[in-house]
Amino acid sequence: DAGITQSPRHKVTETGTPVTLRCHQTENHRYMYWYRQDPGHGLRLIHYSYGVKDTDKGEVSDGYSVSRSKTEDFLLTLESATSSQTSVYFCAISERPGDGEQFFGPGTRLTVL
């Protein structure tokens, strides 16, 4: 199994509070991704990173920011959480962007009350 961990695994927070989710990898892969999974929508890309300090937006990036200061860590921040951001968040990694296989972390279940 790819060495990907996510923390926290579960979090309950209140509307308006900031939240940071962490993804940590031990594979030294260049590319990292954040997805959210919602019923009826499958998984959708939020942001991705193609190197340290290099990030770009995905399909559903509004309300989220990311940072990558080290190869192994990719942080997802909700500056002011809203109930619509209640979801399961997955981190993924890959060695190559276009034709590289993606491997997923265990997920973080976030509930915004």
Partner 1 sequence: GIQVEQSPPDLILQEGANSTLRCNFSDSVNNLQWFHQNPWGQLINLFYIPSGTKQNGRLSATTVATERYSLLYISSSQTTDSGVYFCAVVTYSGAGSYQLTFGKGTKLSVIP
Query: What is the identity of the amino acid at 74?
Result: F
Number of residues that bind partner 1 (CB under 8 A): 26
- Map the footprint of partner 1 across residues 58-77, applying CB under 8 A: 58-59
Q: Are 75 and 64 in contact (CB under 8 A)?
A: no
Residue 104 within binding range of partner 1, rule CB under 8 A: yes
Residue 10 within binding range of partner 1, rule CB under 8 A: no
Contacts of 74 (CB under 8 A, 6+ apart): 22, 23, 25, 32, 34, 49, 66, 67, 68, 91
Nearer to partner 1, 8 or 97 (CB): 97
CB of 54 to partner 1, least distance (A): 11
Q: Are 26 and 72 in contact (CB under 8 A)?
A: yes
Could you give the string, one character per residue 23-62, with x where binding to partner 1 holds by CB under 8 A and - elsewhere?
----------x------xxxxxx--x-x-----x-xx---
